[in-house]
Amino acid sequence: MDESYNPWQVHSSELKYQNPWIRVREDQITNPAGNPGIYGVVSMKNKALGIIPVDADGNTWLVGQYRYTLQEYSWEIPMGGGPVELDILQSAQRELKEETGLLAHRWTNIMRLHTSNSVTDEEGYVFLAQELEQGEVEPEETEDLRLWKLPLQQAVQLVMEGRITDAISVAALLKAARLLGI
């Protein structure tokens, strides 16, 4: 199969909404079956960044917060956004410091992923952060965070029980456990 083949035809595209984080556009299209339609696309203005800090004892940190869009509390790996024009590692280092107060002396990019590619072009990256040093937490004004230090193996168990549902966190924790042999 030719992976470069695009069966969609775009006739027009109109920006419908934007704010500091997203753009929403509506495309007039012809779908792969040859029928006309519309397609809504959410474009992100930042890269999604997830960080799995792991200390020498095999512990990690989860961040808990109430997620407005879900109207429920969520436990996740430390994560945030980095402007597309900035180095993703620098943005990941900033996010880890803001949310956990941790500084890591060893960073490994372990994953690139798309969070919901049927409606958004969001691209995410996950880093494994090791050789940790504790500093001060510096949350943003929109964040009311709780931190939970626990064994990485226990965090993976929370994924398996369905208690961690954030897509980046699920994928990242499972991959990190596999890479670390947990």
Domain identity same for 13 and 78: no
Q: Is residue 73 part of a domain?
A: yes
Token pair, residue 114, equals: 């798309």
Domain identity same for 28 and 111: no
Structure-model confidence comparison of residues 18 and 5, the more confident one: 18
Domain that holds residue 172: 46-180
Q: Is residue 3 part of a domain?
A: no
Domain identity same for 88 and 122: yes
Residue 36 burial (CB count, 10 A): 10
pTM confidence score: 0.89
Domain identity same for 19 and 77: no
The CATH number assigned to the domain holding 90 equals 3.90.79.10
Q: Is residue 69 part of a domain?
A: yes
Domain identity same for 122 and 38: no
- Asked if 110 and 99 touch (Cβ cutoff 8 Å), the reply is no
For residue 67, the SS3 value is strand
pLDDT at 157 over 80: yes
- How many separate domains does the chain show? 2
- Asked if 38 and 12 touch (Cβ cutoff 8 Å), the reply is no
pLDDT tier at 35 (50, 70, 90 boundaries)? very high
* Each residue's pLDDT tens digit, 49-107: 999 999 999 999 999 999 998 999 999 999 999 998 899 999 999 999 999 999 999 99
Pairing between β-strand 123-134 and β-strand 46-53 as defined by DSSP bridges: parallel
Distance CA 58, CA 170 (A): 18
